[in-house]
């Protein structure tokens, strides 16, 4: 995995379209890149490292990379390290077939042994390379290209988004099982990619593929068929956002741009969903959803922190709720009944672990609901209900605006469920309406960049919180480690004295989230005193309601608001902390090492 782009159209444009598409997909994270372009024969070039290494090699190539079809790929290593040989596309021994692939071929070892026994010589360590060799074998048996590809696919176990080019055939073939693929329908030209930004500058008309669908793209158009070969009718949708929305708009990094977009993304999430005059929440997508007997959240990474927050929020409203790592739930799902609700939080709508967990819940009879940012994504087509985050495109690998929109989304859900769908919570509605302006105030006045300068030489960072602040402390630590590459840990503040306190020294900055003035806040202040007594520098992120600032070396302030929403504001300060530390360390902020934006393998 990670980024796929394919093109059928003007032979003189193919290479530029592929390289432009791969550039637009760089945000997903990758460690090598390659292209295959051709017509009667295929020309392949691939390189480990950044895209500019591939572009430099192409500029020195002694053949013209022109042709009516082409495929490109940015790889995030799974089988084999990032080398030229392991980069995609992969070909058969004659170079007749070129394949790019996202996913994992789980039975590749058995297939490789079989092919090697037939005399095939492999040139890489990847699982993907078995695919072009399987296709080539079927071609040698006399099958036409489409049938040969279909036959090869039947041998694959695991997950795949495949795009295949065959020399002498002015067409591309693609197939999907689990990882996403989307078609772009242009004027006399056609695209296939793992994500819409790959071709958004060329067309906004898209077709989302479902599992076990097969595509042929040629100059005559596009067709989608099922495993039985029968044509599948697909809707063409128009993406609502423009290509320029995926640019940096003058910001140094996508992440910083997206942090500053949060007032707008929150307004979009709330638009039409809160009636301040009536003091009620109105979420049309939840019509028909009653109050469940219990709720199970499933999610990974940043989304799991939103799930922890959401489960606590529902429990506070009297609804039994738990949060589960999706990859754990998928292998050992909790018991459910037809009266229970399984909620998947996935920013991309394509997270493999979360999709599998939701399928487990649905298979046991539970209703399912998704909170996601991507219209048309797999999760939206499989769940019974969907709440769209409306955050707009997020290209930084480290999630920011989608997380705050998730926190708002679960508040909308909780308000809807609190009284059987009426959602009458005047105080919450008023606080929600004020959130965008309060986030803007933080962005305009944050002292995070100045505070973090003092800790540039520190190697370990702790993040503490209780109650609703605890998931935000975890998220603050995750964001910090993702983009700074420094060691950071988040803890429930009360756990500090049960072990982690042994690690606290004068060189361990501690970030404590303290909002409100309830029992949780007061006890967190007690934990702050514990680390202060060990000479640890303390940064308190607080609304000032409690007296936490008295015990802090530095204070990052947030506006006072409803206690359920204050952690969201604290999170914005922690986003800025992570960003400014990473910028000071000159890290690759938008493309952190080893990480991908959308994790589409389990």
360 is catalytic: no
In 3D space, the residue among 329, 494, 482, 488 whose CA is nearest the CA of residue 403 turns out to be 482
CB-count exposure of residue 332 (10 Å: 0-12, 13-18, 19+): exposed
Which residues lie closer than 8 Å to 339 by C-beta, 6 or more apart? 292, 293, 294
- Return the DSSP state at 210: P
Computed from CA positions of residues 572, 575, 581, 587, in that sequence, does the dihedral angle turn out positive or negative?
Answer: negative
CA distances to 12, 93, 183, 340 from 238, rounded to whole Å, are: 27, 40, 12, 35
Q: 479, 481, 557, 597: which one is catalytic?
A: 597
> Under DSSP, is residue 226 helix (H, G, I), strand (E, B) or coil?
coil
Q: Cβ distance 543 to 557 under 8 Å?
A: yes
Q: Cβ distance 15 to 42 under 8 Å?
A: no
Q: 2, 269, 300, 383: which one is catalytic?
A: 2
Helix axes 51-59, 14-24, angle to 10 degrees: 160
Per-position DSSP letters for 379-416, written without gaps between them: HHHHSSEEEE-------SSS--HHHHHHHHHHHHHHHH
- Does a cis peptide bond (omega within 30 degrees of 0) precede residue 244? no
CA atoms of 343 and 387, how far apart (whole Å): 10
Residue 265 tokens, joined: 């993304």
Residue 175 tokens, joined: 């197939």
Q: Give the DSSP H or E segment for 351.
A: none
Residue 71 tokens, joined: 């495929």
**What is the distance of C-alpha 16 from the center of its chain?**
27
529 is catalytic: no
Q: In what order do the strands lie in the sheet with 538-542?
A: 487-492, 460-465, 510-514, 538-542, 554-557
CA atoms of 451 and 448, how far apart (whole Å): 5
Which residues lie closer than 8 Å to 148 by C-beta, 6 or more apart? 135, 138, 139, 141
Residue 332 tokens, joined: 């050992």
Q: Cβ distance 144 to 173 under 8 Å?
A: no
CA atoms of 416 and 290, how far apart (whole Å): 9
Instruction: Enumerate the H helices of 419-468 as residue ranges.
Output: 426-445, 448-452
Please report where in the chains the tokens 């071609």 appear, as a residue. 139
Q: Cβ distance 431 to 567 under 8 Å?
A: no
**b vs e for 379-401, b when ≥16 Cβ sit within 10 Å of the residue's Cβ?**
bbebbebbbbbbbbbbbbbbbbb
Active site residues: 2, 597
């Amino acid at each position: 995995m990670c980024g796929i782009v394919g093109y059928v159209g003007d032979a003189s444009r193919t290479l530029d379209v592929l390289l432009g598409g791969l550039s637009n997909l760089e945000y997903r994270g990758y460690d090598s890149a390659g292209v295959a372009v051709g017509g009667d024969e295929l020309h392949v070039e691939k390189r480990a490292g950044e895209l500019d290494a591939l572009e430099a090699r192409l500029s020195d190539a002694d053949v013209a990379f022109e042709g009516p079809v082409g495929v490109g790929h940015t790889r995030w290593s799974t089988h084999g390290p990032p080398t030229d040989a392991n980069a995609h596309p992969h070909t058969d021994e004659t170079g007749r077939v070129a394949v790019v692939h996202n996913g994992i071929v789980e039975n590749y070892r058995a297939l490789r042994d079989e092919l090697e026994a037939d005399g095939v010589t492999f040139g890489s360590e990847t699982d993907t390379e078995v695919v072009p060799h399987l296709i080539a074998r079927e071609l040698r048996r006399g099958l036409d290209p489409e049938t040969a590809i279909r036959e090869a696919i039947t041998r694959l176990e695991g997950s795949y988004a495949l795009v295949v080019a065959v020399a002498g055939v002015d067409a591309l073939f693609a197939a999907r099982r689990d990882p996403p693929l989307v078609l772009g329908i242009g004027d006399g030209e056609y695209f296939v990619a793992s994500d819409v930004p790959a071709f958004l500058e060329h067309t906004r008309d898209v077709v989302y593929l479902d599992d076990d669908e097969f595509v042929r793209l040629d100059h005559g158009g596009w067709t989608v068929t099922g495993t039985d070969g029968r044509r599948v009718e697909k809707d063409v949708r128009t993406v609502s956002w423009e290509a320029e929305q995926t640019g940096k708009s003058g910001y140094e990094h996508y992440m910083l741009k997206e942090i500053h977009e949060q007032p707008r993304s929150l307004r979009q999430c709330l638009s039409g969903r809160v009636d301040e005059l009536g003091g009620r929440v109105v979420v049309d997508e939840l019509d028909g959803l009653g109050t469940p007997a219990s709720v199970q959240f499933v999610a990974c990474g940043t989304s799991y922190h939103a799930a922890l927050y959401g489960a606590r929020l529902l429990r506070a409203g009297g609804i039994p709720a738990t949060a589960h790592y999706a990859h754990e739930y998928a292998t050992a799902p909790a018991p459910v009944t037809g009266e229970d609700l399984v909620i998947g939080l996935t920013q991309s709508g394509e997270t493999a672990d979360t999709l599998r967990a939701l399928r487990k819940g649905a298979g046991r009879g539970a209703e399912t609901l998704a909170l996601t940012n991507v219209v048309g994504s797999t999760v939206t087509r499989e769940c019974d209900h969907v709440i769209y985050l409306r955050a707009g495109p997020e290209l930084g690998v480290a999630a920011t605006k989608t997380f705050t929109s998730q926190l708002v989304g679960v508040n909308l859900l909780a308000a809807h469920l609190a009284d059987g769908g009426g959602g009458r919570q005047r105080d919450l509605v008023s606080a929600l309406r004020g959130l965008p302006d309060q986030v803007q105030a933080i962005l305009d006045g944050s002292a995070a960049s100045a505070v973090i300068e003092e800790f540039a030489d520190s190697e370990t960072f702790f993040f503490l919180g209780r109650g609703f602040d605890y998931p935000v402390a975890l998220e603050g630590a995750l964001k910090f480690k993702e983009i700074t590459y420094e060691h950071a840990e988040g803890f429930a503040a009360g756990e500090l004295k049960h072990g982690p306190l042994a690690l606290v020294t004068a060189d361990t900055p501690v970030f404590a989230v303290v909002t409100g003035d309830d029992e949780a806040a007061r006890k967190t202040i007690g934990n702050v005193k514990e680390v202060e007594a060990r000479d640890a520098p303390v940064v308190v992120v607080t609304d000032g309601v409690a007296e936490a600032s008295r015990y802090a070396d530095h204070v990052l302030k947030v506006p006072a608001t409803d206690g359920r929403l204050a952690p969201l504001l604290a999170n914005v300060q922690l986003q800025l902390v992570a960003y400014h530390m990473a910028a000071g360390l000159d890290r690759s902020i938008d493309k952190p090492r080893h990480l991908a934006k959308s994790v589409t393998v389990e």
